[in-house]
Structure 1
Amino acid sequence: MRPTPATSGSARPAAVINEQIRGLVEQGGLGSDEYLELLVEWEAAVRSEGLRSDVTKAA
């Protein structure tokens, strides 16, 4: 089970979440609840990893 959006930080690296987002988009899942949950998790991971300058390279 994925961490809930209410958690601070992410247990998974942003790159791992990003790959899952890309796979979901390729399968036509853009806009799905899972996609939106992953975006929230990805943002938390990006913040916790201090990657704000690399946001344009992500999903």
Structure 2
Amino acid sequence: MSFHSSDSGSARPDAAAANEAIRMLVEAQAGGEWPAEEYEQLLAQWATAVSPDLAA
């Protein structure tokens, strides 16, 4: 997962990288057991990347 610095100096995940990680997870789990915790973590990273309010 790649990160970039925001104006406040904190590192935030890159939305495109988080989205790609979610896509890869979904494709890898097709027909198998669903890794709920990993999916939840990736969604949180994506939400932080796309919503500046969540990064604070």
Which amino acid in 2 is paired with 1:46? Answer: V
**Distance across 1 between alignment mates of 2:38 and 2:12:** 17
Give a deviation string over 1:4-59, Cα, whole Å, max 9, x none.
xxxxx7622110000000000001175521111110110111002xxxxxxxxxxx
Higher CA-based Rg: 2
Which structure ranks higher in relative contact order (CA pairs < 8 Å, sequence separation ≥ 6)? 1
User: Gapped runs of 5+ residues in structure 2?
Assistant: 1-9
2:18 aligned partner:
17
Structure 1: runs of 5 or more not aligned: 1-8, 49-59
What RMSD over aligned residues (CA atoms) do the two structures have, in Å? Answer: 2.2
Aligned residues: 40
Q: Does 1:38 align with 2:42?
A: yes
Contact 2:13 2:48 (8 Å CA) reproduced: no
Question: What is the one-letter code of the residue matched to 2:39?
Answer: Y
- After TM superposition, the score normalised by the length of structure 2 is 0.58
Q: Which aligned runs of 4 or more in structure 1 are off by greater than 6 angstroms?
A: none
> What is the percentage of aligned positions where both structures have the same residue?
40
